[in-house]
Amino acid sequence: MGATAFQRTGVVFLLVGLCLGMRMGMTEDFSLTPVHTHLNLAGGVLMFVAGLFYAQRPEIPRWAVTLHYWLHLVGGLLLVAGIYGAVTHAPWYGPVVGIGAVGVLLAMLVFAWNVFRKHGAM
């Protein structure tokens, strides 16, 4: 996994979030706003920004970038699904949103480590 995977995944999250936003606007039903918001920000924006960062820092170990990617992807998908479950009052939402939130948090901790740790010459 590299910068391009982050950027492409971020664009997919944004497209899904934008389509959901358009649907909400057309139907004037904004009950899924939290899902829309997390798709766009936690999925789209954060993934794309990470991709921009990794494109400029190729010296960061591949395993660290890959770990960040998979934690963020799986955590983000579970977080969004769990938020959808919470909004629709699904009985399963609690553990799903919890695991997703922890996954995204761990991904952001790995990202912070990658940002602040000195990796090779700059």
DSSP class per residue in 18-72: HHHHHHHHHHT--TTHHHHHHIIIIIIIHHHHHHHHHHH-TTS-HHHHHHHHHHH
13-22's contacts with Cβ under 8 Å and 24+ in sequence apart are 13/39, 13/40, 13/43, 13/44, 13/47, 13/76, 14/39, 14/40, 14/43, 14/44, 14/45, 14/48, 16/43, 17/43, 17/44
Its pTM stands at: 0.92
Q: Where are the domains of the chain?
A: 3-116
Question: Is the pLDDT reported for residue 103 higher than 80?
Answer: yes
* Residue-level pLDDT at 118: 78
* Residue-level pLDDT at 34: 97
Question: Is the pLDDT reported for residue 29 higher than 70?
Answer: yes
Question: Is the pLDDT reported for residue 119 higher than 90?
Answer: no
Q: d(Cα 24, Cα 18) in Å, to the nearest integer?
A: 10
Residue carrying the six token digits 């706003």: 33
* Residue-level pLDDT at 1: 80
Mean pLDDT (the chain, rounded): 95
* Residue-level pLDDT at 82: 98
Two tokens, residue 48? 């794309």
Q: Which amino acid is at 113?
A: W
Two tokens, residue 22? 């358009």
Q: Please, which residues have CB within 8 angstroms of residue 71's CB and are 6 or more apart in sequence?
A: 103, 104, 106, 107, 110
Q: Which amino acid is at 56?
A: Q
* Residue-level pLDDT at 121: 53
| Average pLDDT, integer, range 80-87 | 98
* Residue-level pLDDT at 30: 97
Question: Is the pLDDT reported for residue 72 higher than 70?
Answer: yes
